[in-house]
Structure 1
Amino acid sequence: MTALTQLSQAIHDAPRWHQPEQFQNPQEITIVPLEGEALGAVVFGLDARKAQAGETIYRLKQALAEHLILIFKNQRLDDLQYLAFASYFGSIFRPSADNPVLATQADTGTPPDVVPVSNAVGQGDYTGHGELNPHADHQWTPQPSFGSLLYAIELPKDGGQTSWFNTIRAYDTLDEATKQQIDQLQLITYNPFVRRQYLKDNDTNGYGSSPLYRFKDQPIIGHAYPHPLVRTHPESGRKALWLNTHSEVELVNYDDQAGSELIASLREHLLKPEFRYEHQWQQGDIVFWDNQVTLHSRKPFPSEQRRLLKRISLAGGRPY
């Protein structure tokens, strides 16, 4: 079954409003912000297997724009139910074949709609068990994903927590001189999957290593898509730093040394604890995050402990 057929099947099989036992009463749902945290809200009472009312989806979209991540507890879904729920919020992200991302398949050039994020549990060993540095998904593509949902199915006993960083708050707390300096700058984020393959093929610098900033005397690896360093949220209008912490990047038409120092300073700022929320996963959690104005990272966990989550990413527009 192809990814497109899988999505079509999910919509075909989805519960309908005219079936009362399959319809979610909007009055059963409450949204509670995480007290004292930099971002996030918990959604109580929602069963993602059921058909959702328009007012519910509107409330959830508003809440996501305000709180940046939503946490749904105690869900029990198969892949088609998961896809049907995610499709309320947008189209599935499908990059072009020349822009590889996590789980890109050799035969199609694109990832599956539901990506298993695991450490060799027989369902997609894409991220291993090590630490993952703060990043936004698909930042190196011409139209990065607007958001993702991550569903916890199997969890390790130790480690594996995911943190999210509020990059709106990170921008808001910059001094005015820095804001004026960076507001009109364009940033290129280079594709880490292309870089990794290049290093593997050429056996230079050690497989998996990558510069944090590209100087002009260094080769360009992969496509280059300039996006604003300061991104505007399309719904709230709030500004955010559109920068991760460890990918190879380059400021457009900017001095190499000055650009490298500026990016290093902004990356240090992004990692301040007051911008961060760490999620302690429980089985059945779905976390839905706004990929446009957050970063996320993962703590390592023991390789012998199994971890399986499933991710669905939603299509976005060109950053501005």
Structure 2
Amino acid sequence: MTSLTQLSQAIHDAPRWHQPEQFQNSDEIKIIPQDHAALGAIVYGLDARKAQSGETIYKLKQALAQHLVLIFKQQTLDDLQYLAFATYFGAIFRPSADTPVLASQQENGVPPDVVPVSNAVGQGDYTGHGELTPHADHQWTPLPSFGSLLYAIELPKDGGKTSWINTIKAYDALDEETKAEIDQLQLITYNPFVRRQKTKDLNESNGYGESPLYRFKDQPILSHAYPHPLVRIHPESGRKALWLNTHTEVELVNYDDQAGSALIAKLRAHIQKPEFRYEHDWQIGDVVFWDNQATLHSRQPFPADQRRLLKRISLAGSRPF
């Protein structure tokens, strides 16, 4: 079954409003912001297997724009049910074949709709068991994903927690001089998967391989370059976000090498301050939905002999502005 067929089947099989027993009562759903957290809200009472009303989806979209991370508890989903729920919020992210991302398939260059973020299932595993440093998914593509959902199926006893960083709060906390300096800058984030393919230097424990933090003009360009704003505007809230990951190779456009490298290092240190961060302690059945336009996420390492299986769906986005 191809990805397209799987998605079509999910929509075909999705519950309909004319089946009362499969319809979610929107009055049952409560959205509770996390206490003393930089971002995130827990959604209680929602069953993602059911048909959802326009009122519910609108409420959830508003909550996502406000809180940036939504946590749905105690879900029990197969892949088709998971896809049907995710596509209430947008189309599935499908990059072009010449822009590799996590889980891009050899035959067509496109990732599956549902990606196993796992060390547990054998063929088709992705990301291994090591640390994943703070990043925004697909930041190096021309049209980065707007958001992703991650569904916990198997969890290790030790480690493996995921953290999110609120890059709106990180931007807001900058001094006015720095804001004025960076507001109109363009940033290229180079594709780490192209570097992996060309250098054959993959570190299996973290899924990314080694990479320089900044590209100087005398260094080779290994991938297509898509400049995006260093400070992007959230398309729904209108708020500014500092859109920069912490470890992928980047370059400021039309900027001095030494000054650019120093500025990026300064901003990366700022982003990682604990006051912008929320750490999620996973439970089986959690579905976490995050806004990829104004957050970074990372993962703690966990023992290689402990199984971890989560499934990710990414949703299509637009050109950052």
- Give the TM-score normalised by structure 1: 0.97
Per the TM alignment, residue 201 of structure 1 is displaced from its structure 2 partner at its CA by 7.7
- Displacement of 1:125 after TM fit? 1.9
Q: Please tell me whether the aligned partners of residues 168 and 242 of structure 2 are also in contact (alpha carbons under 8 angstroms).
A: yes
Distance in 1 of aligned mates of 2:272 and 2:263: 15
1:290 matches 2:287: no
Q: In structure 1, how many angstroms separate the alpha carbons of the residues matched to 2:281 and 2:270?
A: 24
Q: Are 1:31 and 2:31 an aligned pair? A: yes
Does structure 2 retain, via aligned residues, the 8 Å contact 1:153–1:283? yes
Find the aligned partners of 2:279 and 2:175 in 1 and give their Cα distance.
26
Report the counterpart of residue 249 of structure 1 in structure 2: 250
After TM superposition, give the deviation of residue 198 of structure 1 in Å.
Answer: 1.3
Alignment of 1:130-149 (within 5 A): 130-149=130-149
Contact 1:117 1:124 in 2 (8 A): no
**Partner SS state of residue 298, structure 2:** strand
1:216-255 alignment to 2 at 5 Å? 216-255=217-256
| TM-fit CA distance, 1:210 | 1.0
Q: For 1:52 and 1:62, how far apart are their aligned partners in 2?
A: 15
Identity of aligned residues (%): 82
Alignment of 1:1-320 (within 5 A): 1-122=1-122, 124-200=124-200, 208-320=209-321
CA contact (8 A) 2:33 2:67 kept: yes
The secondary structure found in structure 2 opposite 1:284 is coil
Q: TM-score, normalised by structure 2?
A: 0.97
- Answer whether contact 2:201 2:209 (CA < 8 A) is retained: no
Q: Could you say what the CA RMSD is over the residues aligned between the two structures, in angstroms?
A: 1.1
Report how far residue 200 of structure 1 moved. Answer: 1.1
- Which AA in structure 1 matches 2:39? L
Give the SS at the match of 2:197.
helix
Structure 1 unmatched runs, 5+: none
Contact 1:199-1:208 at 8 Å conserved across structures: no
2-side partners of 1:251 and 1:48: how far apart?
Answer: 42
- Aligned partner of residue 297 in structure 2, secondary structure: strand
Question: Aligned-pair distance for 1:81?
Answer: 0.1
SS at match of 2:143: coil
Render the CA deviation track for 1:123-144: whole Å, top value 9, x for unaligned.
Answer: 5221000000000000000000
1:3-58: CA deviation from partner (whole Å, max 9, x where unpaired): 11110100000000010000000000000000100000000000000000000000
Query: How far did 1:224 drift?
Result: 0.1
* Structure 1, 115-124 or 19-28: larger mean CA deviation: 115-124
- Which amino acid in the other structure matches residue 214 of structure 1? R
Structure 1 Cα separation of the partners of residues 83 and 200 of structure 2: 34
How many Å separate the matches in 2 of 1:168 and 1:177? 17
> 2-side partners of 1:121 and 1:114: how far apart?
14
Deviation for aligned residue 1:165: 0.1
More divergent stretch after superposition (130-139 vs 113-122): 113-122
d(CA) in 2 for partners of 1:161, 1:6: 29
1:148 and 1:288 in contact (8 A); partners too: yes
Aligned counterparts of 2:314 and 2:98: Cα–Cα separation in 1 = 18
Q: Which moved more, 1:116-125 or 1:236-245?
A: 116-125
Matched AA of 2:296: L
Give unpaired runs (5+ residues) of structure 2. Answer: 203-207
CA–CA distance in 1 between the matches of 2:5 and 2:98? 22
Indicate conservation of the 8 Å contact 1:116/1:123, yes or no.
Answer: no
Residue 197 of structure 1 and its aligned partner are, at CA, apart by 1.3
Secondary structure in 2 aligned to 1:93?
coil
The one-letter amino acid of 1:287's match is V
Measured at CA, do residues 77 and 201 of structure 1 come closer, stay the same or move farther in structure 2, by a change above 3 Å?
closer
Per-residue deviation at 1:120?
3.9
TM-superposition CA deviations, 1:183-240 (whole Å, max 9, x none) = 00000000000011111189xxxx9221100000000011000000000000000000
Which whole-Å CA distance do the structure 2 matches of 1:197 and 1:246 have between them?
18
SS at match of 1:168: helix
Contact 2:97 / 2:109 at 8 angstroms: preserved in 1? yes
Report the residue type matching 1:285 in the other structure.
Answer: D
Residue deviations 1:263-282, cap 9 Å, x none?
00000000000000000000
Q: 1:79 Cα shift?
A: 0.1
SS at match of 1:289: strand
Cα distance in structure 2, aligned partners of 1:294 and 1:201: 28
User: Once the 2 structures are TM-superposed, how far is the Cα of residue 259 of structure 1 from its aligned partner?
Assistant: 0.1
CA distance in 2, matches of 1:308, 1:115: 10
